[in-house]
Structure formats: structure tokens, C-alpha cells
Amino acid sequence: MISTKGYAAQSPTATLQPFSFERREVGPHDIKIEIAYCGVCHSDLHQVRDEWGGSIYPMVPGHEIVGRISKVGAAVTKFKAGELAGVGCFVDSCRTCESCRAGNEQYCDAGMAGTYNGYQMDKKTPTYGGYSNCIVVDENYALHISEKLPLQAVAPLLCAGITTYSPLRHWKVSAGQKVAIVGLGGLGHMGVKFAVSFGAEVTVLSSSAAKEADAKKLGAHHFVNTGNQQAVKAVRGKFDFILDTVSAQHDLNFYLNLLKTDGTMVMVGIPPEAEAVEAFSLITKRKTLAGSMIGGIRETQEMLDYCAENNIVSDIELISIQQIEQAYTRMVKGDVRYRFVIDMSTL
Ligand code: NAP
Ligand code: ZN
């Protein structure tokens, strides 16, 4: 076994503390990655605090993992020691169901093996995430990372990047469309970058008036402070597509009313509370309310390659592992500019 250092939560109310644990030895199909950086996703916080229920402790969070490969198994063909590699939100899946065969491992019928707060496919061995110094993963569940981009700013692409790229591609967002991104946080700011890159006319719908200048710098064409009734009225019935990244309770009907006929709103944010949807919000203009979860390995690689070609990375604030609780506190307040990334050398 490989002795590993990390930071873990022992209960929903505990702060993250240093934690030692073991990872499996590098098997024939595995690679070992020395983790250089790990992004901080709001999902880490939801799960550490057991806001969705069913959390498993001790929990080492982190699913935006990048680093260099230090060892490869004898049967590995896709990676070499010394190369960069990344790991996102899952480390395995059944590989045989319809979703897995279609490259949608995140929708695996047997349930994907989450990178943390989950179990390997044996449903017994707990998984530990990227707030740690290394990870051992099957090569089929690792991603190639370009040497061209700043590595710390690439880490958030593994979750925030693919979670926004995938629905924008699936619903074919492109030039000529009016798109709104709700919530300018980790996911939201990547949603803005991709939607702009795909040619759409992009509006940020934010509860934080102070983020207007940043939204424009990120490439958004318009900014609406959702607390400003006049500004909201002016965009009623205007959007073809809305990507909702909000992490806390909010009124979905308010945003559905901003769609035009045949418009679609996709939920990627996962507020712990149930949200009520009025039938009238949908029927009046034949609207669609949908959801989307991360993306499969093939599409994640496509997204990473697209980012390398188009020079797209996350806007980050680099922190030490010792600053993780302050980062969580700021995240709850919506004060993320626009992704915290942990420098794992501080572990
Ligand atoms: P984040 O960085 O904290 O951003 C969330 C943003 O939502 C905030 O910055 C804020 O933006 C807005 N917001 C927060 N509370 C709000 C409220 N009460 N009303 C309106 N807006 C509010 O979080 P994140 O990492 O981007 O994650 C966002 C959500 O997506 C989380 O629930 C996370 O668990 C989920 N997620 C889902 C997937 C998936 O596969 N579907 C993957 C990753 C994460 P403004 O200040 O601009 O309003
Ligand atoms: Zn995430």
C-alpha cells in the first residue's frame, strides 16, 4: 500500500485536519499522480457538511486534480511517467452499461465510483480525493493535460470546466443565441468563457452587483443584477438558454420566466433544498427544464484539448491547504473570484 497524506473531515461539523491514509499499489492498468494542485468545488463543501445526506467519513475532498505521473503500471498504454495528468469527479464505472459504452460514465447504471465520498466499484473500498499528495487511478479514468497552460489554472477544468462545457455542447449553444449564466462563481465563470467562445450573446444573472466589471472582463456582453427589478423586467422572455449554477435555494420560476418560446434552462447547481416549479412557468412558452452532471471521460478530454487550443483556463486564487476553512467561509458568502485552488506543496 502507498502511505498518503491529506486533509480530511471527520464529521459534518468538524474542520478539515491533516489525515494519513493508504492508497492501493499501482496495478497493471494504473497510474500514480503526484498531485500538484487541486481545485475547491462548492460540491466539496456540500459533501463535507453533509448537505445532500449520506456523506461518508473520514472524507478527503477534491475532484479537480492535476499533477505529474510518477509511476505507470506494466499494461498502461496511454500515459508515460513524467507526463501531466488529471482526475475529475469519478475514478471508475461499470464500463458495460449503455451509458458507459456511450462515453457517459457519469450516468453509469451501476453508479460511478466518485473520486471521494464514495466507493470503488466493489462498493466496499472508500475513495479519497485530491486534497492529498498523490492518487492512484486506472488510466482509462485519467485525462491528458497540456503543458501549454498554467497548471494551477487548469485544475478547475476537471469539474467546473466540464460541468459547464457539457450542457453548452449538448444543447448546441452557438452564435445567434442569447444565453444567460446564473451565478458567477466557479462554474458560472467557466460557463461564461465557454458560451462566449461558442459565439453566443452572453448575459450574467448575478445576485452580486459588485461582480459586474468581472463579468465583462470574463467576456460577458451583459450583466443583470437580479436584485434590480427594472433590469430583470427588461430581460423577461429574452433567453434561448439559461445555465443555472446557483448553489443555494433560489426561485426557479423567476429564472424560467426569462426564457423565450422553446427556451431551455439547465440546472447544474445542486442546492440542498427542494425547489418548487410552477406548471405555468413551463407551459406558457413550451419551455424545458433540464439537468446535467459533469461529463464523460471522452468529452472531458475534448474540453481540455479545446481549452489548450483556445487558451481557456480558470481565474483562480491560489491558497495553501491551511487556508481551506477560510476559503469555504468565503464560498458560502458567494465571494469566490472565481475558483480557489490548493497548492498541494503546502501539505
Ligand atoms: P460557487 O463558486 O460557490 O458559485 C455559486 C454561485 O451561486 C455564487 O458565487 C453566487 O453567484 C450564486 N449564489 C449563491 N447563493 C445564491 C443565492 N442564494 N441566490 C442566488 N445566487 C446565489 O459554487 P460552484 O463550485 O460554482 O458550484 C455551484 C453549484 O454547482 C454547487 O451547488 C455545486 O455543488 C454544483 N455542482 C454541480 C455539478 C454538476 O455536475 N451538476 C458539478 C460541480 C458543482 P452570484 O454572486 O453571481 O449570485
Ligand atoms: Zn465539482
Q: Which ligand 1 atom sits closest to the C-alpha of 271? A: 32
Q: How far is the CA of 188 from the centre of ligand 1 (A)?
A: 7
Q: Which ligand 1 atom sits closest to the C-alpha of 184? A: 47
pLDDT at site 66:
99
The best mutation among 46, 245, 252 to test binding of ligand 1, ranked by most ligand atoms within 8 Å of the C-beta, falls on 245
Q: How far is the CA of 183 from the centre of ligand 1 (A)?
A: 6
pLDDT at site 67:
99
Q: Which ligand 1 atom sits closest to the C-alpha of 293? A: 40
- For ligand 1, atom 13, the nearest C-alpha belongs to 246
Ligand with an atom nearest the CA of residue 45? 1
Return residues with CB closer than 5 A to ligand 2 (ion): 41, 43, 159
DSSP code of 16? P
pLDDT at site 316:
98
Q: How far is the CA of 206 from the centre of ligand 1 (A)?
A: 11
Q: Quote the CA–CA distance of 276 and 34 in Å, as a whole number.
A: 44
DSSP code of 288? E
Q: How far is the CA of 236 from the centre of ligand 2 (A)?
A: 30
Q: What is the DSSP string of 184-250?
A: -SHHHHHHHHHHHHTT-EEEEEES-GGGHHHHHHTT-SEEEETT-HHHHHTTTT-EEEEEE---S--
pLDDT by 10-residue block (mean), the chain, 347 residues: 98 98 98 99 98 98 99 98 98 98 98 98 98 98 98 99 99 98 98 98 98 98 98 98 98 98 98 95 98 98 98 98 98 95 98
Q: What is the 3-state secondary structure (H, E, C) of 90-102?
A: EEECCCCCHHHHC
Structural domains of the chain ordered from first start: 2-159+314-346 (3.90.180.10), 161-291 (3.40.50.720)
Q: Which ligand 1 atom sits closest to the C-alpha of 160? A: 43
Q: Quote the CA–CA distance of 181 and 193 in Å, as a whole number.
A: 10
CA neighbours closer than 13 Å in the CB half-sphere of residue 164: 33
Q: Quote the CA–CA distance of 334 and 208 in Å, as a whole number.
A: 8
- For ligand 1, atom 19, the nearest C-alpha belongs to 250
Ligand 1 pocket, Cβ-based, cut-off 6 angstroms: 41-43, 46, 159-160, 163, 183-188, 206-208, 211, 245-248, 250, 268-270, 293-294, 331, 334, 336
- Cα 246 to Cα 77, 185, 188: the distances in Å are 40, 8, 8
Q: Which ligand 1 atom sits closest to the C-alpha of 41? A: 25
Handedness of CA 104, 107, 110, 114 (dihedral sign): positive
pLDDT at site 128:
98
Ligand with an atom nearest the CA of residue 61? 2
Q: Which ligand 1 atom sits closest to the C-alpha of 332? A: 3
Q: How far is the CA of 210 from the centre of ligand 2 (A)?
A: 24
